[in-house]
Amino acid sequence: MSRLSTYLLPTLRDDPADAEALSHRLMVRAGLIRQIGAGLWTWLPAGNRVVRKVERIIREEMDAIGGQEMLMPVLQPAELWRRSGRYDIEELMKLDDRKGAPHVLAMTHEEAVTYHVAREVRSYRELPMLLYQLQVKERDEPRPRAGVLRTREFTMKDAYSFDRDEEGLERSYEANRRAYARIFDRCGLRWYECESDVGMMGGSGAHEYMAPCPAGENEVALAPGYAANVEVAKAEPQPVELPDPLPEPKEVSTPGLTTVEEVSGALGVPAGALIKALPVIVDGRGMVLVLVRGDHRLNEVKLRNALGAGFRQATPEEIAEEIGPAGFIGPVGADVPIIKDAAITGAGYACGANKPDAHLIGVEPGRDFSFEELDVRVVEAGDRTPDGHEITIEPAIEVGNIFKLGTRYSEPFGATYLDEEGVERPIVMGCYGIGPARIVAAAVEQHADEKGIVWPRALAPWDVVVVPLGKAGDETHTEAERLYEELASADVEVLLDDRAAGAGEKLTDAELVGCPLRVVIGRRGLAEGKLEAQERRTGKEHEIPLADAAQAVREILAGIE
């Protein structure tokens, strides 16, 4: 029963002072969520209804591809995480029980699920298998932010596939991709499946599901037929006009000019005609000089993946010792390995001369220095895909990800099976995550207008809000009560605003909360035997007969997505 007079739906007239992101502001104002600590949020009843709708869609689609729902504990013995080598992750919440035994609060459930499968599954006949759960995850985030977008505790749908071999994994992976497409479509999101970084965990492939919206923390490079996280995006660079080449590099005086802007300005060349030299210290390998075009930025994820090792920026002291004065570093004459970004092509570049207050012009890679060529730059808006489409870059929320784990967990946990020949083999795994809270936030961001939330029908806390405008006990309330009962008994999800509040307050709240259809019952309409229904998204108004109101409402709803 959803009667607003006694329902915990605390709407706010003003934005909360500490909220910036649109979804954060609206979800708090519409009474969906409240904060209890940094990155710790309570779903109030209306918000909980929305989350449950998302979860239901997820369950239906996971079940449809053969997923088996289970539930694993959040509190786990540290031993499991020691075995996988993940115990030392900083974000992992650690605690001891009363006996002093170390435990963790799980941030995902690879360890737990693999532990079980290792003990219970023995034969190729039992595979493939897809297990999933909707369970809380705990992460000691360094910086929770934007309401429900990045929290320390959140529910995740995490699924794990178990296959005999890579081919099987491929099939499982594809099945999950199809399920994800249906899930995000049904939730009414605008979304992209992106190539993503496989991260330090290795693995043979990964996709992220990105919902573009202003509050997004990730950046996605988009073009017709192309979508990739900028962390891994590749593209054709925009051309740059290089000065005429010289037969050999020539030193020019650039006193005190250390930035790309200063040097390109002084030389009268575009920033892209400079070579930016970035000295880094690679784990176990010492200093390497990385070169990118002056108008480009180094992509640290790409570089790390290309190196197969971590790295850090060199300190000015290290740079001075190995190459020259920071601010005037260049590849010519530098006695360290050089990695040149693939966007540096042609000749006539300017770069640091490795001595104070001097740069070189007319530099030509290959002729003037040797290098290893890699793609290590950040793709920029305006770059093009290989088939010539211009790339745009949009912020996006990561609402899901899928990942080919391989045997990363099955090996340490001894999750093996016997194949047809009786040979013991490691099970090949994949994992598949979705954050329902992020779906909700993304839906709010993507569909809101200046009046408030505009829910996609599939996520709306209620389909209809019935709003009597008169005072309690008058005919607008009796008619509203009657319609409410009729709709409820016809399984329409309906909210009745039976509060003793003014018309303005009720109408404003209805818009803020954003149910797809609002039915207003006022004396004016009742006099003519009519009610007014208005669609939230389009603002389209319907006059409906009082006599047949419930049926009319259901017909209008049928046309709303």
Return residues touching RNA (CB under 7 A).
11-14, 16-21, 24, 35, 37-40, 85-86, 88-91, 108, 141-146, 150, 199-201, 217, 300, 451, 469-471, 500-505, 507-509, 511-512, 520-525, 532
Least separation in angstroms between CB 557 and RNA: 19
> How far is 129 from 117, CA to CA, in rounded Å?
10
Which CB atom, from 141 or from 236, has the smaller least distance to RNA? 141
Least separation in angstroms between CB 312 and RNA: 9
Least separation in angstroms between CB 297 and RNA: 10
CB neighbours of 160 closer than 8 A, spacing ≥ 6?
109, 110, 113, 114, 117, 130, 131, 132, 429, 430, 431, 432
Which CB atom, from 45 or from 239, has the smaller least distance to RNA? 45
Least separation in angstroms between CB 316 and RNA: 17
390 DSSP 8-state letter:
B
> How far is 303 from 281, CA to CA, in rounded Å?
12
Which CB atom, from 360 or from 454, has the smaller least distance to RNA? 454
Which CB atom, from 83 or from 384, has the smaller least distance to RNA? 83
Q: Which two tokens stand for residue 182?
A: 């249906």
Least separation in angstroms between CB 506 and RNA: 8
Cβ contact 444:451 at 8 Å: no
Least separation in angstroms between CB 255 and RNA: 30
Least separation in angstroms between CB 14 and RNA: 4
Which CB atom, from 48 or from 108, has the smaller least distance to RNA? 108
For 11, 35, 215, 312, 408, the CA distances from 19, given in Å and listed in that order, are: 15, 11, 12, 34, 40
> How far is 418 from 137, CA to CA, in rounded Å?
33
Which CB atom, from 311 or from 371, has the smaller least distance to RNA? 311
How would you write 436-469 as a 3-class SS string? HHHHHHHHHHHHCECCECCCCCCCCCCCEEEEEC
Least separation in angstroms between CB 348 and RNA: 31
Cβ contact 397:218 at 8 Å: yes
> How far is 443 from 1, CA to CA, in rounded Å?
25
Which CB atom, from 456 or from 525, has the smaller least distance to RNA? 525
Which CB atom, from 321 or from 505, has the smaller least distance to RNA? 505
> How far is 386 from 383, CA to CA, in rounded Å?
10
Cβ contact 144:19 at 8 Å: no
For 35, 419, 503, 518, the CA distances from 543, given in Å and listed in that order, are: 40, 67, 19, 12
Q: Which two tokens stand for residue 184?
A: 């995000």
